[in-house]
A and B are shown apart, each in its own frame.
With several copies, the nearest count.
Chain A
Amino acid sequence: MATTNTIELSAAEAFKTRPLTPLQRVHRVLHLHPEISPLIVLLIAMFAFQLANDRFLSPGNISLILQQVAVVGSLAVAQTLVILTGGIDLSVGALMILVSMVMGSLVGLAGLPGPIAFAIGILVGVLAGVLNGVLVSVLRLPPFITTLGTLSIFVALALLMSNGVAIQGEKLGGFLLWTAAAFSVGPFNFTIGVILMLLMYLGMGFVLHQTGWGRHVYAVGSDPVAARLSGINTRRVLMSVYAVAGFLVTLSAWILIGRNNAATTSAAVDVNLDSITAVVIGGTSLFGGRGTLLGTFLGAITVAVFRNGLSLARVDVLYQTLAIGILILVAVALDQWIRRAGVKG
């Protein structure tokens, strides 16, 4: 019997110690550390773009990429939060524009001091978030359609309020434009907006992973029925998530004002889809319950790197659209391959 047992013992052992192809080895390492998979995509992309144009990795260009990603990157924080609960927020971009117009008008047209206008902007953002939250958690409307509806509402309100007129930087005062203030660290050049975005990641990362509320967000996204039966007030969690998202969007609006040096409705509403793309490339599940802000950050950077790198590689605009479509697919497919339990550990 002893022999049989030894053979049986070795069955799994033998399997585990079998020789692997180099690809399998790579896969195994990546699979054991799924959080680095977006990093891999990013590094490959950066390497390729550097080959195409050696200015790509210059400190100046890297500083620029960070500034370019600040708006979408900060929106992606709010988006991650919502997606972790199994929802989706199509209204973040529209709300950002609405809030920036509110803050801009209060300073530029009504002459209020910046901090007060900012506070009112926060109020508007949070109230809009609460509106989404009530619709999703109390009336139980699907988040997709809820935020599709509020998207229309926020866009219409922003346009009706501003009548399409932008408020330029000269009228906005120092406070609202503070996010544009730049400073240098060695050869790199940052703005307060970039720092604010990074702080949003750090702060929400802490909250998500170190507090009970963060655990509840994951639990609600993972299985809302189970979360409710476990004694979590799922309604309150959802509501607070949308409210916090509204607050975070307010910060994005601040960054946006700084970047535009203006409060204007003429800002890409496409940032919605960009923020979702960042979250998904970062490995967060659209079904909720699974994902990290670190991943989202890498995802946002990846999209920005693609857009910047393709330009620097002198790819024609129409081909850029094509290339970005393909690269989204490749990035997510690679991520999926890495996560698959294909190579047995």
Chain B
Amino acid sequence: SGQSGSASGDTIHVSIITKDPSDPFWVAMIDGAKKEAESQNVEITVAAGKDQSDSDGQIQAIENATARGDDAILIANNGPAVNDAIKKAQDAGVLVLALDTPFSPANLATATYATDNFAAGQAIGKWAAGALDGQKAVIAMIDLFADKVVSVDYQRDQGFLDGMGIALGDPEKIGDEAETGTYSGGEYEIACHEHSDGAQDGGRTAMEKCLSLNPNINLVYTSNTAPGLGAYQALKAANVDALLTSINGACEDINTIIDGKFGAASQQFPGKMGAEGVKAAVEYVRTGTKPKTDNADGFIDTGVELVTDQPIDGLKSVTGADAMNACTS
């Protein structure tokens, strides 16, 4: 982008508002944005909800960004409660871009840099269906939360089952599928739905409970890397050999594939979301051009990649080593 002249003279102020302050996924996103910002004379201010269901914290962050006169807000929203505050910010002339999670309605943001969480789930679901190769699937589902309902949680869970070829009930509701039935490759049984709170020890405890319920589990879905690693510990301790799948964010998460801990993972690129968002904000402030998008909703897919070292025929994937190269370069 343009380094030259007066356009880059004024510091551009950009707020990044994430869902919670601690998840490595957001850290990767912020890192990507900050890296991009360095070269562009952009000052980034980071804000977040207290946890993935804290809309009020995000509303305040939006209001404060507006009040201090920021040029753009990049936000991974915690729910539609923020919409009003977003509209007010836009009325005050702030550019709003959605990262990771589209608003509902999606056209609220000028552009959305995100991946489809449902599709990310689908990819590992499809891989799992292929990898089982006709065996009966005994599935452990390790989701995020028991005490809140958030979109990432059900989209990934339902996407996975859909990818397996299992008939969904309500696609916004976890656990309303038939406990047994057939998937695209044969019979399945869902052994458990547990929650991990997105934490590593939560993932381990959840996996342990699932194994107590059914020691024959041979396929595990986890919502993200940390609980996936916890589940891996539990499987290892119990000497159970099961396919472990997850959805990764940061580059170092790809090690889970290289080490062979996870059979497959959908890799998302939060850093890219952050970087693209900053780029678009700079472009808009300096030149007035809005980001070009392919569709009416302004959705710009930053891509999901299925990463696995056990590729399945007919399913596009990359190896762990290649993914790591691409990610860190």
Residues of A within 8 A of B (CB): 53, 55-56, 58, 60-61, 64, 67-68, 71, 152, 155-156, 159, 162-166, 168-170, 180, 182, 256, 259-262, 264-271, 307-308, 311-312, 314-318, 320-321
Question: Complex formed: what's the CA distance from A268 to B194 in Å?
Answer: 15
Do B68 and A267 touch across chains, with their CB atoms under 8 A apart? no
Q: Is B76 an interface residue (CB 8 A)?
A: no
Additional 19 contacts, C-beta under 8 A, given A163-B172, A165-B252:
A64-B209, A155-B147, A159-B22, A164-B172, A165-B149, A180-B84, A262-B200, A264-B79, A264-B199, A266-B79, A266-B199, A266-B226, A268-B201, A270-B197, A307-B209, A311-B213, A314-B13, A314-B43, A318-B21
Do A265 and B201 touch across chains, with their CB atoms under 8 A apart? no
Instruction: For the complex formed, measure the closest distance between the CB of A58 and the CB atoms of chain B, giving whole angstroms.
Output: 8
List chain A residues, Cβ under 8 A from B148.
155, 159, 164, 265-266
Q: Provided the pairs A55-B68, A159-B22, A166-B200 are in contact, do residues A61 and B212 lie with their beta carbons within 8 angstroms?
A: yes
Do B23 and A312 touch across chains, with their CB atoms under 8 A apart? no
Q: Provided the pairs A71-B56, A311-B192, A321-B146 are in contact, do residues A262 and B64 lie with their beta carbons within 8 angstroms?
A: no
Closest to A261 in B: B84
Do A260 and B193 touch across chains, with their CB atoms under 8 A apart? no
Question: Complex formed: what's the CA distance from A68 to B233 in Å?
Answer: 13
Of A64, A71, A164, A318, the residue contacting B201 (CB under 8 A) is A71
Instruction: For the complex formed, measure the closest distance between the CB of B251 and the CB atoms of chain A, giving whole angstroms.
Output: 10
Q: Provided the pairs A308-B64, A312-B213 are in contact, do residues A163 and B84 lie with their beta carbons within 8 angstroms?
A: no
Mask: chain B, 6-41; 1 = CB below 8 Å from A; 0 = not: 000000010000100111101100010000000000
Question: Complex formed: what's the CA distance from A166 to B233 in Å?
Answer: 15
Instruction: For the complex formed, measure the closest distance between the CB of A160 and the CB atoms of chain B, giving whole angstroms.
Output: 10
Closest to A316 in B: B46
Question: Complex formed: what's the CA distance from A197 to B212 in Å?
Answer: 23
List chain A residues, Cβ under 8 A from B259.
170
List chain B residues, Cβ under 8 A from A316.
45-47, 175, 193
List chain B residues, Cβ under 8 A from A166.
24, 79-81, 200, 226, 229
Question: Complex formed: what's the CA distance from A271 to B63 in Å?
Answer: 18
Question: Complex formed: what's the CA distance from A156 to B175 in Å?
Answer: 16
Question: Complex formed: what's the CA distance from A56 to B213 in Å?
Answer: 9
List chain B residues, Cβ under 8 A from A156.
147
Residues of B within 8 A of A (CB): 13, 18, 21-24, 26-27, 31, 43, 45-51, 53-57, 59-61, 63-65, 67-69, 78-81, 83-84, 143, 145-150, 170, 172-175, 192-195, 197-202, 204-205, 208-210, 212-213, 226, 229-230, 233, 237, 250, 252, 255, 259
- Among B193, B201, B204, B252: residue with most chain A CB under 10 A: B201
Instruction: For the complex formed, measure the closest distance between the CB of B193 and the CB atoms of chain A, giving whole angstroms.
Output: 6
Do A152 and B147 touch across chains, with their CB atoms under 8 A apart? yes
List chain B residues, Cβ under 8 A from A155.
22, 147-148
Do B48 and A266 touch across chains, with their CB atoms under 8 A apart? no
Instruction: For the complex formed, measure the closest distance between the CB of B103 and the CB atoms of chain A, giving whole angstroms.
Output: 12
List chain B residues, Cβ under 8 A from A317.
18, 21, 46-48, 61, 143, 145-146, 174-175, 193-195
Closest to B206 in A: A311
Question: Complex formed: what's the CA distance from A164 to B24 in Å?
Answer: 5
List chain A residues, Cβ under 8 A from B53.
265-269
Q: Provided the pairs A260-B204, A261-B81, A266-B53 are in contact, do residues A320 and B146 lie with their beta carbons within 8 angstroms?
A: yes
Between A and B, 9 residue pairs with Cβ closer than 8 Å are A163-B172, A166-B229, A265-B22, A266-B79, A308-B60, A311-B65, A314-B68, A317-B61, A318-B21
Q: Provided the pairs A260-B84, A308-B64, A321-B21 are in contact, do residues A266 and B147 lie with their beta carbons within 8 angstroms?
A: no
Do A267 and B47 touch across chains, with their CB atoms under 8 A apart? no
Question: Complex formed: what's the CA distance from A223 to B51 in Å?
Answer: 38
Do A270 and B68 touch across chains, with their CB atoms under 8 A apart? no
Q: Provided the pairs A164-B23, A268-B197 are in contact, do residues A159 and B147 lie with their beta carbons within 8 angstroms?
A: yes
Question: Complex formed: what's the CA distance from A287 to B161 in Å?
Answer: 50
Closest to A273 in B: B50
Do B50 and A270 touch across chains, with their CB atoms under 8 A apart? yes
Closest to B13 in A: A314
- Among B149, B172, B173: residue with most chain A CB under 10 A: B149
List chain B residues, Cβ under 8 A from A56.
212
Instruction: For the complex formed, measure the closest distance between the CB of A9 and the CB atoms of chain B, giving whole angstroms.
Output: 60
Do A64 and B67 touch across chains, with their CB atoms under 8 A apart? yes
Instruction: For the complex formed, measure the closest distance between the CB of B38 and the CB atoms of chain A, giving whole angstroms.
Output: 15
